[in-house]
Amino acid sequence: MANRYRGEVEAVLDGRHWTLCLTLGALAELERVFQCADMAALVDRFAAGKLSAWDAIRIIGAGLRGAGHAIDDDQVSRMTADGGAAGFATIVTELLTATFGGGAEVADPS
């Protein structure tokens, strides 16, 4: 079960329950991937409200790895979520909100 006080969220991907968490290492991974100089720049990028499918794959993948799952972004790209793209956006929003609070919400694509 996910512990929101630790920044964890639970998501159902491919019909399986997963815990995701953006640990410090996962955030460092996202800084590198998104070419952000620091966490403030990362928060600014997410707060802009623009989310590509590739962004969602990277964020969800980092969250899965941060929670200890041995999974790569290619595997994440083949997963399904209830609600399709909106379901993935909800997972990303919940993960970013659990990590940063309300300041890192992404736009709802629906």
Q: What's the pLDDT tens digit per position in 25-83?
A: 999 999 999 999 999 999 999 888 888 999 999 999 999 999 999 999 999 999 999 99
**Predicted pLDDT at 102:** 67
Rounded to the nearest 10 degrees, how much is the dihedral formed by the CA atoms of 81, 84, 86, 90?
A: 0
Q: Is residue 110 a part of any domain in this protein?
A: no
Q: Report if residue 46 sits inside a domain.
A: yes
- What distance in Å separates the CA atoms of residue 27 and residue 21, rounded to the nearest whole number? 10
Does residue 61 sit within a domain? Answer: yes
Sign of CA dihedral 60, 83, 99, 39: positive
Rounded distance, CA 64 to CA 97, Å? 16
Overall number of domains in the chain: 1
- Provide the residue range defining the domain that includes 48: 4-104
Query: What CA–CA distance (Å, rounded) separates 97 from 95?
Result: 5
Residue 15 lies in a domain: yes
